[in-house]
Chain A
Amino acid sequence: MKNLFESRRALTKMKAIIITAIIIVACIAAVAAYFVTLPSTTSEKTTVTLCTWGDWMLTGLVKNGVKQPLLVEFENETGITVNFVFAAEDAIRTKIWLDVTSHTGAYDILGMDNYAVAQLAVGDFVEPLEPYVQNKPYAKYFQGFNDFYTSTLDANTYEGKLYALPTYTFGAGYTYRADLFAKYNVTVPTTFAELEAACAKLAAGFAADGLDIAPITMRGVKGEEPTIETTGITWAYGASWFNGNARTVNEINSTKAMPMFNSTEFVAGYEEYGKLGRNWGPAGLSDYSWYECAVDLAEGRTASFLGFSAMYWFVKSTTQLPLTNFKIALAPMGPVRRMDTFWTFSYFLNKDSQNKDAAWKVLQLIASKQGMTEMAKTNLINTLPLKSLMEGEDIKNWTKTPDDDMATIIESFNVSSILYAPMIPEYKDLCYMLGTAASQILAGENTAQGALSLVEEMAIKTMKDAGYYK
């Protein structure tokens, strides 16, 4: 009996040692796997992985997980296999940042908006593209920069170096229900004062007819979303983020330009935004992302949208209402300038990519006229960065865009530029603060002055912590 007990104890002891050893070996193996790359036993095909949100911007290459003829042809020609990692925007941003900061190089091509240019460039996470353009153009898909709208390339340039190719863009616009404007005899506004008058007239008409339609909608959800519009409105009111409209790290440091979020002009711009939203926006606007705005407009619960011009094509691609109901006008003029909301979606080359040459070839395909043509045909997208596409006749047929609306969209590109917003690594952080303030104002949680005073305080702290003003 004693021997049995002792042998059981010995067995338990052995189990404990074995389990501990397994845990230690597993940990060592995990660490080793990080540092050791085994030789590939697969075929000679190169694989390029693209990580992005908005798979609807790549329907020319892959649709519902199925590779399209353009991509299949490319893969056969080049021997490059292209893999896609799609997810929601938040998830993709996290994935990309984890990848670049840990230098794992899991993703060769990164799809991000142009706001990421400064952050990715300053951190030296992505490749400047000029050397690739000069040395290794893939002429079948890349015909140089002349066909791109200059503003779209400027938006992806930091300190004189181009870091990404844009494939989708928009300026500011006012998308509206032409049928409702005609019914209530409302003139399309060209200034903010006219916009207020138009909203008031529509509201009176809807009330008289017992219609539950909001005259206007804008983005108001907490976070960075509303900031494009609010920055555009404050720009129209003559404001800028930093003193003297300093926009880059060098400019801010050399002039010691402080954040000006509490300036008279900035507050006036936010007050205008708040006035439009609270008086004439739908209930719950402080929780509206671009998606809620689009659904409301497409389903007839809102008469107009003030913000990015791409809302026009998105609504027309999803609405059940007659397409002729929707028109687009240029964004209104403020006391100083026209409202602006310029933005691009772009693709970057990861500095840690193990297949940079192959990735560069894929990048050229993505930003090619062929790729964007498919985007226009399948998704009715009519806000693209290529002049030959935008100013041709075909896009109007593919996207069912009348001549006058197409002219307006092109004009919105011509009057837009990236100058309305700074290009600094702290942009996104400050954007988030400003967007949260916008949501507070719409929700009645704070006044424009109160909310922006807090934002300015936080912004100064952020800039000082980042090493500015030393």
Chain B
Amino acid sequence: MFVKKDFLYILPAIAFLLVFAVYPTVFGINISLRRWILYYPQQGTPFVGLQNYIDIFLSSSFQLALQTTLKYVIISVGLTFVIGFAEAYLIDKVSFRGKEVVTTLLILPLTIVPVVVGFMWRFMYKEGFGLITAWFLPSLGIRVPTILGDPVLAFWGVLVADVWAQSPLVFLILTAGFTSLPKAPYEAAMLDGASSWQTLRSITLPLLQPVILIAVLLRTIDAFKVFDIIWIMTSGGPGTATTTLNVLGYETAFESYNMGKASALGIIVLYISLALTMVFVRVIGRKKK
């Protein structure tokens, strides 16, 4: 039973959350309900209610950015999960010499700062002398004049860079999940003559479900938040091909200097992330029961 004096033990955490989480969020919500343009300080920050939100939802740039973001999240999460799962499964099931080295190499992309990842891949995609456009693709007989200059290929180019950088996270989480699986069901399955595919489908996947949900949740939140890789590689271009909600928010704040609308965009992204988190938490909670 929670008694009053127990409150003292959680006071430091509450203080920290109030100062570094609650206050900035409340401040952001407050600004999102105001008109605040940095180069018009004499206009002050008049209260405009939900006008910023209405303007955002009605704007074609927001609708396009939302489409791009959703497309990006779905594909990125799907790909990182498939790749991360495949890697974790193989590392768990297959024994070979140098397994530790391979595992370390698989994790390596996660240790690279996203800005560096962006620069690295931008350089590899460079027309004329990039590793991918000038050597790798031509060696496969594929001639691509440009990747980051084409609206469709730029989207996939950025996605590939992000998937490369973030698959190790899914790999790590699922590897931990694999190592925690009980051995008894597998021994029983082996005795019953189950195939690898049957074992995977009927034993591994069900047992791993909570871990998979956590990996997918973290990856989804990450994909929603992505900004640095996109900004470094394409600045949201060419045109608006890779402009996601976060890129649009940055542009609204630091190109248009419209802090009210930028805050509103940030709050929208926050609520979308929160909604997704709640859905996942409920699903995970149900699975545990």
* A interface residue numbers (CB < 8 A to B): 12-13, 16-17, 19-20, 23-24, 27, 90, 93-94, 97, 101, 119-120, 122-124, 212, 220-224, 282-288, 301, 425, 428-429, 432, 436-437, 439-446, 451, 454, 457-458, 461-462, 465-467
Contact = CB atoms under 8 A, between A and B. Distances in A.
Given A13-B5, A432-B256, A440 B39 contact: no
B239 A443 contact: yes
Nearest to B144: A283
A426 B52 CA distance: 18
Contacts, number: 138
Interface in B1-17: 5, 8-12, 15-16
B151 A444 contact: yes
B237 A466 contact: no
B148 interface: yes
A13 B43 CA distance: 49
Contact of A16 (B9, B127, B150, B154): B9
Contact of B146 (A27, A284, A437): A284
Contact of B8 (A16, A119, A429, A457): A16
B44 to A, nearest CB: 12
B68 interface: no
A432 B251 contact: yes
Contact of B239 (A24, A212, A428, A439): A439
A24 B19 CA distance: 9
Given A284-B149, A432-B255, A440-B238, A301 B128 contact: yes
Contacts of B238: 220-222, 286-287, 439-440, 442-443, 445
Contacts of A283: 127, 145-146, 149
Of the candidates A428, A439, A440, the one having the most CB atoms from chain B within 10 angstroms of its own CB is A439
Contacts of B127: 282-284
Contact of B237 (A212, A223, A444): A223
B239 A436 contact: yes
B135 to A, nearest CB: 15
A212 B257 CA distance: 42
Given A287-B148, A287-B149, A445-B151, A90 B254 contact: yes
B104 to A, nearest CB: 33
A16 B12 contact: yes
The main secondary structure of chain A at its interface with chain B is: helix
B227 to A, nearest CB: 13
B40 A425 contact: yes
B205 to A, nearest CB: 41
Interface of B: 5, 8-12, 15-16, 19, 35, 37-43, 55, 59-61, 127-128, 145-151, 154, 234-241, 251, 254-258
B9 A222 contact: no
A221 B122 CA distance: 14
A120 B37 CA distance: 12
Of the candidates A12, A223, A286, A457, the one having the most CB atoms from chain B within 10 angstroms of its own CB is A286
Contacts of B59: 458, 461
Given A23-B19, A432-B256, A17 B11 contact: yes
A364 to B, nearest CB: 27
A120 B39 contact: yes
Contact of A439 (B43, B237, B257): B237
Contacts of B146: 283-284, 287
A443 B9 CA distance: 59
A26 B63 CA distance: 42
8 contacts: A20-B12, A23-B19, A222-B234, A222-B238, A222-B239, A224-B255, A442-B238, A445-B239
A268 to B, nearest CB: 20
A446 B148 CA distance: 17
B67 to A, nearest CB: 14
Contacts of B147: 284
Nearest to A119: B39
A324 to B, nearest CB: 25
